[in-house]
Amino acid sequence: MILADPPSSGRTRLAGLSPRAAIGLLLAVLLLIGAGLASPPTTNPGGSPDGGDAALYRQIAARVAHGEGYYQAAAAEQRASGYPLKPFTAVRPPALAEAGARLGPTAADWLLWLLAIGAGIATAIRLIPHLRSPWREAAILLGATSGILFVRSGMWVWHEAWAGVLVGLALACRTDRHWRMSVVLGLAAALVRELAFPALIVMAGAAWVNGARREACAWIAAAVLVLLLLGAHMLDVEHVARPGDVTSPGWLAFGGWRFDLALARQSSLLIELPSWVTAIVAPLALLGWASLPGGYGLRVVALLGLWMTVFLVIGRPDNNYWGFLMAPFLPLGLALAPAALRDLFIATGRPRPAEAATVRP
């Protein structure tokens, strides 16, 4: 069940900042925008239904659908196409291929579309009580269009797309009273793509800090289960790998903020626009999420911050489709940005406590 936070007074989390903190945050946003404009992200977003990786995943699922074991199918296809089999993280977990083999491509596409649209709408529902017109309508529009990127035939093969919409739904449907479905969705996201694992950590940490011990334990149990299954996945990949198989060059690439912007560009809002637009929109969207009162906003911005911090170091330029993880909810922060900027500018001019207390005769 999706429940919205209680309506707010229109003030954001940033309204109570000191002038020094407000100025610092504004400078940080301006620095991020300036860095993005100076070194804009790639103009060739990846992750199309016809890409080389997409064809590989489609072939693996087809072989599984014909009765072949997943790891044998994955090893054969990746070996034949020159893809690495080492380390084990070069091979995707089996969950999506197994599900796709049973559902079939058409049903899998439709399910992804429904989940993507649902994630966008659910996110917008959580934002609406905190927004005034016309930003309320902007959030509805952004929510309604956030899933368009995935409404293309063949997109079901992208593990990051499934993980992103499942994480978006997990965040949006979680409340203090109703969190079990959120745990199930978060677990499913991490089983499809291990890059969603940080969502489990963020949700467990937030629950623990809030004193929700039962919920925290459920998230921790989900995280432990994912780690155990990743261990089994590692053993299965090592079982089918051969000494002469290709080894991945690794993902330690130090792509920095430019790579983060390339990931942020993988959304319905930004993918067709000039790359410099992402340099402006992404920091403002992050600021918007950081300004949202309540635990929902904190969870979203904590997860986005964790992902984007890790991706400063991890991820090659050809991995920009990892941005599908953030696409269902990152751009909706833009609807929150105007109120956040308003409160920041007000805070920069607020008298200091000592000055405010001074009474002139």
- For 34-91, the pLDDT digits (tens) are 999 999 887 667 777 777 899 999 999 999 999 999 999 999 999 999 999 999 999 9
**Residue 305 scores a pLDDT above 60:** yes
Number of Cα atoms under 13 Å in the Cβ half of residue 339: 27
For residue 242, which of 10, 80, 106, 120 has the smallest C-alpha distance? Answer: 80
- How many residues would you count in the chain? 361
Lowest-pLDDT choice from 88-102, 124-138, 221-235? 124-138
Residue 346 lies in a domain: yes
Compute the distance between CA of residue 176 and CA of residue 6 in angstroms, rounded to an integer: 13
Residue 164 lies in a domain: yes
Lowest-pLDDT choice from 7-16, 149-158, 324-333? 7-16
**Residue 4 scores a pLDDT above 50:** no
pLDDT grade for 152, boundaries at 50, 70 and 90: confident
CB 287 within 8 A of CB 333: yes
Helix axes 70-80, 95-103, angle to 10 degrees: 100
Residue 8 lies in a domain: no
pLDDT grade for 2, boundaries at 50, 70 and 90: very low
In DSSP notation, 166-212 reads HHHHHHHH--SS--HHHHHHHHHHHHH-GGGHHHHHHHHHHHHHTT-
Compute the distance between CA of residue 131 and CA of residue 109 in angstroms, rounded to an integer: 33
Compute the distance between CA of residue 345 and CA of residue 57 in angstroms, rounded to an integer: 49
For residue 1, which of 129, 143, 185 has the smallest C-alpha distance? Answer: 185
Task: Tokens for 102, please give them.
Answer: 């049973």
Residue 361 lies in a domain: no
Residue 2 lies in a domain: no
**pLDDT of amino acid 145:** 87
**Residue 353 scores a pLDDT above 70:** no
**pLDDT of amino acid 160:** 96
Compute the distance between CA of residue 292 and CA of residue 132 in angstroms, rounded to an integer: 13
CB 41 within 8 A of CB 278: yes
Each residue's pLDDT tens digit, 272-299: 889 999 999 999 999 999 999 999 999 9
Mean pLDDT in residue range 212-218: 97
- Determine phi and psi for 192, rounding to 5 degrees: -75, -45
The mean of the pLDDT values for the chain is 91
HEC secondary structure over 49-94: CCCHHHHHHHHHHHHHHCCCCHHHHHHHHHHHCCCCCECHHHCCCC
**pLDDT of amino acid 103:** 95
**pLDDT of amino acid 9:** 52
Each residue's pLDDT tens digit, 96-118: 999 999 999 999 999 999 999 99
**pLDDT of amino acid 150:** 87
DSSP bridge pairs for 247: 86
Chain position carrying tokens 């792509």: 255
**pLDDT of amino acid 360:** 40
Number of Cα atoms under 13 Å in the Cβ half of residue 97: 26
**pLDDT of amino acid 157:** 96
- Determine phi and psi for 135, rounding to 5 degrees: -70, -25
pLDDT grade for 177, boundaries at 50, 70 and 90: very high
Select the more confidently predicted residue: 242 or 352: 242
Residue 123 lies in a domain: yes
**Residue 21 scores a pLDDT above 50:** yes
Residue 140 lies in a domain: yes
Chain position carrying tokens 């992750």: 47
Compute the distance between CA of residue 227 and CA of residue 216 in angstroms, rounded to an integer: 17
Residue 356 lies in a domain: no
Chain position carrying tokens 């964790």: 306
**Residue 229 scores a pLDDT above 60:** yes
What dihedral angle (degrees, nearest 10) is formed by the CA atoms of 336, 265, 308, 137?
10
* Structural domain range at position 159: 13-351
**pLDDT of amino acid 148:** 85
**pLDDT of amino acid 48:** 75
Select the more confidently predicted residue: 341 or 146: 341
Lowest-pLDDT choice from 59-68, 129-138, 164-173, 184-193? 129-138
DSSP bridge pairs for 86: 247
How many domains does the chain contain in total? 1
**pLDDT of amino acid 7:** 45
Chain position carrying tokens 């109570």: 16
Compute the distance between CA of residue 95 and CA of residue 108 in angstroms, rounded to an integer: 13
